[in-house]
Amino acid sequence: MPVRSTEWEGVYADGPWLLTRNLVPGAVVYGEGLVRGSDGEFRRWDANRSKLAAYLKRGGRVWPFRLRSSVLYLGAGSGTTASHVSDICADGIVTAVEISPRSFRDLLALAEKRPNLVPILGDAAKPEPYAGRLGSVDVVYQDVAQRDQEAIFLRNFELVRSGGTGFLMMKARSADISASPAKIFESTKRTLAEAGTEVIDFRNLEPFQADHGVLVVRKP
Ligand SMILES: C[S@@+](CC[C@H](N)C(=O)[O-])C[C@H]1O[C@@H](n2cnc3c(N)ncnc32)[C@H](O)[C@@H]1O
């Protein structure tokens, strides 16, 4: 039976599983299991498929996602993680940017059923086209697995309100194939701190996501 988390708003647990309440009852996004609870239907949130779920499984404690949060999600892919964020921020807005037309097609189909999910076919390295209509957001979540992931993140972090939060999912092998993940994570942390963000959490996402880490920062 799903039990509401006391630490993470909008997140539930059922034995070893994390869950979110399904915004579109009956609909499955990536083959995840559905669980019936006393107050609705829940979707299993797989930490091997979603880095945000892996962050929680690895003891992540910073949790800015609220029922009415506005989230800018960069590198949404087909919407696996974005769908869970859309469940959690059910009365908020999740603006999901994706550069690949193939993945965007899936994202678009997902958004047709989810009124709080706004898909944008675009390049997160060039935020100008969507920055204007977005205003400021509570959270930026980035998972683009690109060499220049730090620069992309800092450009988009300008769209976060003061006191807002940024999640940077770092793929070490994307940044530098020869350097050790620990060194890359450390150097990224320094770069973000030097750029004036306040680094408030870091988690290595092993064993759920090989060579991945997450940095969480706050805007002063
Ligand atoms: C690791 S996958 C994302 C998985 C997704 N975040 C999830 O958890 O469900 C990375 C995605 O980032 C997209 N991407 C890469 N560079 C991008 C950019 N500059 N702007 C927007 N999306 C980008 C890729 O096309 C790919 O779909």
Could you tell me the distance, in angstroms and rounded to a whole number, from the CA of residue 68 to the centre of ligand 1? 24
Distance 127 CA to ligand 1 centre (A): 14
Which residue among 100, 140, 214 has the greatest number of ligand 1 atoms within 8 angstroms of its CB, and so is best to mutate?
100
Regarding the beta carbon of 74 and ligand 1, being less than 6 Å apart is answered yes
84 inside domain:
yes
Domain count, the chain: 1
H or E stretch covering 28: none
- 207: domain CATH number is 3.40.50.150
| Amino acid 4: pLDDT | 95
Residue 175: pLDDT band (50, 70, 90) is low
- In this predicted structure, what is the pLDDT of residue 9? 97
State what percent of residues in the chain have pLDDT above 70. Answer: 98
Does residue 143 sit within a domain? yes
Place of tokens 């770092």: 170
In three-state secondary structure terms, 147 is coil
Q: pLDDT at residue 219 above 70?
A: yes
- Residue 37 within a domain: no
- Name the least confident of 107-116, 180-189, 205-214: 180-189
Site of tokens 């869970």: 84
Helix H or strand E encompassing 83: helix 80-88
Range of 141's domain? Answer: 49-218
Residue 176 predicted with pLDDT over 70: no
With cut-offs at 50, 70 and 90, classify the pLDDT of residue 112. very high
Q: Which atom of ligand 1 is nearest to the CA of 152?
A: 19
Q: Are the C-beta atoms of residues 160 and 166 closer than 8 Å to each other?
A: yes
Strands 212-218 and 160-171: antiparallel
Query: Does any domain span residue 23?
Result: no
Looking at the predicted structure, is the pLDDT value of residue 8 above 90?
yes
Question: Is the pLDDT reported for residue 60 higher than 90?
Answer: yes
- 128-164, pLDDT tens digit by residue? 999 998 999 999 999 998 889 999 999 999 999 999 9
pLDDT confidence of residue 145: 87
Supply the pLDDT for residue 147. 87
Domain assignment present for residue 32? The answer is no
Q: Is residue 124 part of a domain?
A: yes
Band (pLDDT 50/70/90 cuts) for residue 185 is: very high
Is 69 part of any domain? yes
Question: 27: pLDDT confidence band, cut at 50, 70 and 90?
Answer: very high
